[in-house]
Amino acid sequence: MKKSVINEVFNIPEKNIFIAFKQEDFETLLKMPDNHDLIVDCITSDIQLSTDIFDKIKNKYKKVISSNILINDDKHILWDCKIDQLGWYIKRKMFFNHFTNHNVKFLRLKNFLFLANHIRFERIEIFEHLCNENLLDNGLINFPSLKETLKEEVEYALLDEQKQVYLNYEKEFLPLSLDFVPKVDTDNDKKHVQYDKDVNDFVDVHDYGVEYNPLLYMNCYFEIVSETYYYTSEFECGKINHISEKTLKPIVNLLPHFCLTQKNYYLSLNKQLDLTFDSEIFNPIKKFDSLSSGKEKTKVFIDSIDYLLKMDRKDLHRLYVDALRELEVNQQKVLSHFSEDNIQRYLQ
């Protein structure tokens, strides 16, 4: 049985936690007797929680912990299994924010950041555009080798009609390992390779998800993000709006982000977390956020950010500096959800 990732974070005994491993587990929850001491964990196995299901189970159990921003309720805790990536940064937030403000005197190294450790079809489409438009040198990019991707991940990440296109796609220079060096044979424990200065060599780590490199975010002007679910979402648009560390990291790191995900994602961030995206650098979101997930939205998304991908860095720098105050306010609003006082209030 997989151990819950939340019991240590929230100091909850395992016996008081129900881990949802698959969608069928929600049917089990609904059939079980009411248990107002039980916390439902939808994080450990990264399960999408629909608003319909939440409405049905919230009165039966003490709390539901998920990464779903459409739910803003006293019975719900917004969290993510990789939020520990931000712990190191949060403890040093004042330093990094000061460094960011100091750094506005200088141009950043690249236009954009694009980190893809796992394949998704929309990420392949974005990467193909970057290749075709000779934009790889304009960004900091991490992208896996499709040739070495496990069959299980292909089955999980791609729809049937996408698999043939995927199998015919290859770039000989992949992977681009900007962040961590992935193992060729990634097993269920998600082992990867990381440099250990004490032994002066690369060593296996069980899950690199608890760490990340914040300097990547300080050397670009915006991030291209594809959230966990897009083409493969099991729910209709509007029934769920899943977020993960891929949404939280750029906001906390004061970086504008353009996210390819379900319909009205930015509208939901505004409605549920009171985040705003009014600065000029965010203009592209007006073109794609209201569109439903699918091929057409992917095309509009890529077309709408293309001018930023190619923009002269001096002009992009001006846009970033003009947006910095809004980015700082959004950062504070997100971090307020992960304060110790807020978590303890939810758990009472």
Residue extents of the structural domains in the chain: 6-81, 84-336
Q: Which residue has the tokens 């860095």?
A: 313
pLDDT per residue of the chain (348 residues) written in tens, 0 to 9: 578 888 877 788 888 999 998 889 999 999 999 998 899 999 888 888 888 888 888 889 998 988 887 777 788 888 876 766 777 777 788 898 999 999 999 999 999 999 998 889 999 999 999 999 999 999 999 998 888 787 888 887 888 889 888 888 888 888 888 876 665 554 555 566 777 778 888 877 766 556 778 889 999 999 999 998 888 877 766 677 778 889 989 999 999 999 999 899 999 999 989 999 999 999 999 999 999 989 999 999 999 999 999 999 999 999 999 999 999 999 999 888 776 666 666 666
β-pairing, 222-226 vs 201-205, is unpaired
- Can you tell me the distance from the alpha carbon of 142 to that of 180, in angstroms, rounded to the nearest whole number? 9
For the chain, the C-alpha Rg in angstroms (whole number) is: 20
Distances (CA, A) of 296 to 122, 150, 231, 287: 11, 28, 12, 12
DSSP states of 171-197 as a string? Answer: -TT--B-SSSEE-SS--TT--EEEEET
Q: Token pair for residue 15?
A: 């016996």
b/e for 23-54, b at 16 or more Cβ within 10 A?
Answer: eebbeebeeeeeeeebbbbbbbebbbbbbebb
